[in-house]
Amino acid sequence: MLNRVIASLAHDDVSFAKVAEFIEKDTVLAGNILRLVNSPLYGLRGTVGSVRHAVSLLGINKLRNAVLGVSAAQMWCSLRTPPGWSMASFNHHSVSVAILSDLLAQQLPVRDAAGAFVAGLFHDLGLLLIAIGLPLEYRQLLTLCEKDPEKSLEHEIEILGLTHAELSSDVAAAWNLPKSIRSAVRYHIQPDLDPAGADGLALSRIIHAADAYVCATGSQFCAMETEVRGSEDALDTLGLGEQLPVVLSEFENELAAMQPYFMAA
């Protein structure tokens, strides 16, 4: 169902009626879309009770983000994770970075801005897969990163032979996501290494800045994320100037509205 909705949104001549038809077949997704459009974020008069009306009000970009966020949260929550892993914290962090990345990309001359939400949502997916598929190695990495947080990437390479960012990028490739999203995910920790940055502002720099800000404001869910420490001022380097406080205010409002639909207990 998620694949069908996303595929339909990729077409320029997308039919709202067709998208609504797909969403209506998933009761949970339809319910969350209706709850979202009726939230204070949109300040609508009256109550929207039709999925088709909700789809037309949200618009393509917001609808895509909502479908992705809700569906990903549902998918992740069905997984069995090791002791100590908080799916609620992982969801909160991932969605926070996704929302902020999307808002930043709308204000900056970044290529492939439409992929910012997806890249932000999946940037740490490799951490989830390591915790599920390699629980012993995951616990070993946590111990090493807690003792020596400045070398978290080195610890990952030593134990796993790759970083969680590379693993996240591999998953994006397996899911046939665009190359720009795969590159942004792969280099979100070290955007200076992203070849896409040679011709301008790379999407990986947006994800890095959003990740650093979210972690600095208290949504760092894992000791293996310490590689973004010291990057709290990454937002300032993007050149938004006086527009930055406006973006951050919109981020807080949008996160507050979307959080109940994306976060798992």
> What pLDDT, on the 0 to 100 scale, is given for residue 169?
95
Give the model's confidence band at 1: pLDDT under 50 very low, under 70 low, under 90 confident, else very high. low
Please give the torsion angle defined by the CA atoms of residues 259, 256, 189 and 227, in that order, rounded to the nearest 10 degrees.
-90
Give the number of domains in the chain.
Answer: 2
Q: Backbone phi, then psi, for 111, in 5-degree steps?
A: -70, 150
Query: DSSP letter string over 57-115?
Result: HHHHHHHHHHHHHHHHHHHHHTS---TT--HHHHHHHHHHHHHHHHHHHHHS-BTTGGG
**Residues for the chain: how many in total?**
265
100 vs 47, higher pLDDT: 100
The residue-averaged pLDDT of 249-262 equals 81
The residue-averaged pLDDT of 136-149 equals 86
Least confident of 55-59, 72-76, 80-84: 72-76
Mean per-residue pLDDT of the chain: 83
Domain range holding 109? 81-265
Q: Say which residues have a Cβ less than 8 Å from residue 146's Cβ, sequence separation at least 6.
A: 223
Q: 132 and 242: one domain?
A: yes
Considering only CA atoms, which of 68, 72, 85 is closest in space to residue 132? 85
What type of residue sits at position 185? V
Fill in the DSSP letter of residue 194: -
Q: 130 and 251: one domain?
A: yes
Q: 27 and 145: one domain?
A: no
The whole-model pTM stands at 0.85
Least confident of 192-206, 213-227, 235-249: 213-227
Least confident of 65-69, 91-95, 122-126: 65-69
CA angle 8, 10, 13 (to 5 degrees): 75
Please report, for the domain that includes residue 256, its CATH number. Answer: 1.10.3210.10
Q: Which of 78, 110, 144 is the last residue of a domain?
A: 78
Q: 74 and 176: one domain?
A: no
Collapsed DSSP state (helix, strand, coil) of residue 201: strand
Q: Backbone phi, then psi, for 201, in 5-degree steps?
A: -80, 115
| pLDDT score of 227 more than 60 | no
Query: DSSP letter string over 105-166?
Result: HHHS-BTTGGGHHHHHHHTTHHHHHHHHH-HHHHHHHHHHHHH-GGGHHHHHHHHHSS-HHH
Tokens of 218: 């208290």
Q: Which of 78, 103, 124 is the last residue of a domain?
A: 78
Tokens of 244: 């930055």
Q: Are 255 and 96 in contact (CB under 8 A)?
A: yes
The residue-averaged pLDDT of 184-203 equals 88
Considering only CA atoms, which of 14, 66, 5, 64 is closest in space to residue 35? 66
The residue-averaged pLDDT of 206-225 equals 80
> What pLDDT, on the 0 to 100 scale, is given for residue 186?
95
Considering only CA atoms, which of 6, 1, 128, 127 is closest in space to residue 65? 6
Q: 110 and 49: one domain?
A: no
> pLDDT of 30-65, one tens digit each?
888 888 888 777 766 678 888 888 888 888 778 888
> What pLDDT, on the 0 to 100 scale, is given for residue 265?
38
| pLDDT score of 231 more than 70 | no
Q: Are 116 and 102 in contact (CB under 8 A)?
A: yes
Give the model's confidence band at 188: pLDDT under 50 very low, under 70 low, under 90 confident, else very high. very high
Q: 47 and 145: one domain?
A: no
Tokens of 29: 């997704």
Q: Which of 46, 78, 110 is the last residue of a domain?
A: 78
> What pLDDT, on the 0 to 100 scale, is given for residue 103?
94
Q: 115 and 222: one domain?
A: yes
